[in-house]
Amino acid sequence: MPKQVFEHQSSRGKIVLLIQKAMKMLTLGLGMLLLAGVATESAWAHGERSQEPYLRTRTVQYYDVHYDKKTVKINEEFTLSGRFRLMEDWPDAVSPPETVFLAAYTPGPMVTRVESYLNGMPARQSFSKLELGRDYEFKLVMKGRIPGRHHIHPLLSIHGSGPLVGPGQWIEVTGTKGDFVEKVTTMNGVQVDNLEFYGTARALKWYGVWLALAAFWLLFWLVRPLLLPRWIALNKGREDVLISNRDVTVGVILGVVVVAISFGGYIYANKEYPYVVPLQAGTSKVDPLPKQQHAVDVKVLKANYDVPGRSMQVTARITNRGAESVSILEFATANLRFVNLQAPGADKAVSADYPRDLVARDGLGLSDQKPLMPGETRDIKFEASDALWEVERLVSFLTDVDSKFGGLLFFVDKSGNRLMTEIGGPILPTFTAL
Ligand SMILES: [Cu+2]
């Protein structure tokens, strides 16, 4: 718009122009946000990267996580399974896993949980007292509910600490939302065609009854002279005119009706549904998986994070206590995986269904690739370098008051068996000059 014309506008016109300008900028801003979302798909994920690194590297380490499908139809089931290690070096600032609930982390109720298990035990309820330093195996059977592309993670909710999520995979749910059904047969053989809406009509009817009674009582008083006339009457000492005999009669009748409906409803519900199981509130106990054979000892001697190189460098004294030679296979932490590409079986270390955006492309660098012989102790330096540290916002451990890291170091022996050792310790940032 030419400047001259603008100056001739009335002040109202100016405001309209300003509003139009603001709207344009807002649209542009939204468009750019949308574009950014399209460019980096994980921008649509839901905040898993905002958790502090000490939570993600030193509490629950998920491994062997599998998603059996990436695309499901509405009502189709898929399975999410895997294991996790509760780290021995659990941070002081995080409540220990005293009460834990297993679920899936989804952006809203996009999928329905059909079954869930922890170490083979049904995980309908929370579990109490999981053990640090031990492993657990989970399985979640889910069902597509709302069409779309959803980022879905395994999740452990720990009382006092919050949700700790595993690796997230994009699951595409196809079909029409209206086709979703949740058929259930109750314990006494009643067939429920769709649990989604079961009992809602009746609940709404009850709302109607109570709302009608409440509205009647409110209107009954509202139609009469209200506050000021009553206040004046009170001031004049005429309390007797405030409540008439009719008011008392209506009040008593209403009271009787409310009590009758409540008790009547209770008796009716008890008669119609003689078997009612309340929501289960207690916790279950589950034993951890058997301890793995402890074949490799790892002592972290030095760990630092090279800020410009985006690289975690760890020097560790490794002792092979087993009967076979072992090689370092993988370093995993906070769902990120750094695989030693030269190790035997490295090509099969990461399954095809594991989210690729969590696997470091260049893998794990080692100072020394020579396998450790039985009984041998050697200092080995490994380097986990990738922009993933930044992308996954894991570098803020540099500013933590408790600058420690944790992770799992996997080894592979000559016969192809995988061995796992938890590692961790203090970590120092290095701001190497560029
Ligand atoms: Cu996510």
Which domain, by its residues, includes 19?
A: 3-39
**Is residue 89 located within the same domain as residue 176?**
yes
Check which CATH number belongs to the domain holding 363 and give it.
Answer: 2.60.40.1580
Please answer whether residues 83 and 289 qualify as being in contact, where contact means their C-beta atoms are separated by less than 8 angstroms: yes
**Is residue 11 located within the same domain as residue 72?**
no
Check which CATH number belongs to the domain holding 124 and give it.
Answer: 2.60.120.570
**Is residue 100 located within the same domain as residue 153?**
yes
**Is residue 87 located within the same domain as residue 213?**
no
The pLDDT mean for the chain works out to 86
Would residue 278 count as lying in a domain? no
Model confidence pLDDT, tens digit, residues 82-114: 999 999 989 888 899 999 999 999 988 999 999
Measured in angstroms, how far is the CA atom of residue 154 from the centroid of ligand 1?
10
**Is residue 33 located within the same domain as residue 52?**
no
pLDDT higher than threshold 50 for residue 7: no
Report the pLDDT value the prediction gives residue 433, as an integer from 0 to 100: 53
CA distance 67 to 152: 10
Q: Which residue has the higher pLDDT, 161 or 31?
A: 161
**Which of the residue ranges 41-45, 117-121, 262-266 would you say has the lowest mean pLDDT?**
41-45
Residue where one domain finishes, among candidates 187, 221, 236 = 187
Q: What is the mean pLDDT of residues 168-197?
A: 91
pTM for the complete prediction?
0.79
Angle, alpha carbons 417-60-89 (nearest 5°): 90
Look up residue 209 and give its two tokens.
């009854």
Measured in angstroms, how far is the CA atom of residue 60 from the centroid of ligand 1?
16
Q: How many CA atoms lie within 13 A of 341 on its CB side?
A: 9
Q: Which residue has the higher pLDDT, 105 or 14?
A: 105
Burial class (CB in 10 A: 0-12, 13-18, 19+), 403: middle
Would residue 423 count as lying in a domain? yes
Please answer whether residues 246 and 254 qualify as being in contact, where contact means their C-beta atoms are separated by less than 8 angstroms: no
Measured in angstroms, how far is the CA atom of residue 168 from the centroid of ligand 1?
5
Would residue 411 count as lying in a domain? yes
Report the pLDDT value the prediction gives residue 44, as an integer from 0 to 100: 54
Measured in angstroms, how far is the CA atom of residue 327 from the centroid of ligand 1?
33
pLDDT higher than threshold 90 for residue 286: yes
Q: What is the mean pLDDT of residues 190-195?
A: 90
Measured in angstroms, how far is the CA atom of residue 156 from the centroid of ligand 1?
14
**Is residue 230 located within the same domain as residue 247?**
yes
CA distance 168 to 400: 25
Report the pLDDT value the prediction gives residue 398, as an integer from 0 to 100: 66
pLDDT higher than threshold 90 for residue 4: no
Residue where one domain finishes, among candidates 187, 216, 237 = 187
38: Cβ–Cβ under 8 A, 6 or more apart, which residues?
A: none
Please answer whether residues 214 and 113 qualify as being in contact, where contact means their C-beta atoms are separated by less than 8 angstroms: no
Q: Cβ of 136: how many Cβ atoms within 10 Å?
A: 23
Phi and psi at 269, nearest 5°, equal -65, -40
Please answer whether residues 328 and 343 qualify as being in contact, where contact means their C-beta atoms are separated by less than 8 angstroms: yes
pLDDT higher than threshold 80 for residue 8: no
**Is residue 152 located within the same domain as residue 227?**
no
CA distance 155 to 82: 11
Match 């589950």 to its residue by tokens.
286
Residue where one domain finishes, among candidates 170, 187, 204 = 187
**Is residue 141 located within the same domain as residue 59?**
yes
Check which CATH number belongs to the domain holding 251 and give it.
Answer: 1.10.287.710
CA distance 122 to 304: 42
Measured in angstroms, how far is the CA atom of residue 163 from the centroid of ligand 1?
12
**Is residue 154 located within the same domain as residue 130?**
yes
Measured in angstroms, how far is the CA atom of residue 40 from the centroid of ligand 1?
13
The rounded percent of the chain whose pLDDT value lies above 90 is 55
Measured in angstroms, how far is the CA atom of residue 279 from the centroid of ligand 1?
29
Report which of 328, 353, 355, 348 is spatially closest to residue 420, judged by C-alpha positions. Answer: 328
Measured in angstroms, how far is the CA atom of residue 105 from the centroid of ligand 1?
7
Measured in angstroms, how far is the CA atom of residue 126 from the centroid of ligand 1?
23
Measured in angstroms, how far is the CA atom of residue 110 from the centroid of ligand 1?
13
Measured in angstroms, how far is the CA atom of residue 81 from the centroid of ligand 1?
16
Measured in angstroms, how far is the CA atom of residue 33 from the centroid of ligand 1?
18
* Total domain count, the chain: 4
Would residue 379 count as lying in a domain? yes
Model confidence pLDDT, tens digit, residues 383-420: 999 988 888 888 876 677 778 889 999 999 888 889 99
Measured in angstroms, how far is the CA atom of residue 85 from the centroid of ligand 1?
20
**Is residue 68 located within the same domain as residue 109?**
yes
Would residue 277 count as lying in a domain? no
**Is residue 53 located within the same domain as residue 142?**
yes
pLDDT higher than threshold 50 for residue 51: yes
Would residue 405 count as lying in a domain? yes
Report the pLDDT value the prediction gives residue 35, as an integer from 0 to 100: 45
**Which of the residue ranges 166-175, 205-214, 285-294 would you say has the lowest mean pLDDT?**
285-294
Measured in angstroms, how far is the CA atom of residue 70 from the centroid of ligand 1?
14
Would residue 282 count as lying in a domain? no
Q: In DSSP terms, which residues pair with 19 in a beta bridge? A: none
**Is residue 94 located within the same domain as residue 112?**
yes
Measured in angstroms, how far is the CA atom of residue 282 from the centroid of ligand 1?
30
Report which of 48, 85, 83, 166 is spatially closest to residue 406, judged by C-alpha positions. Answer: 85
Would residue 287 count as lying in a domain? no
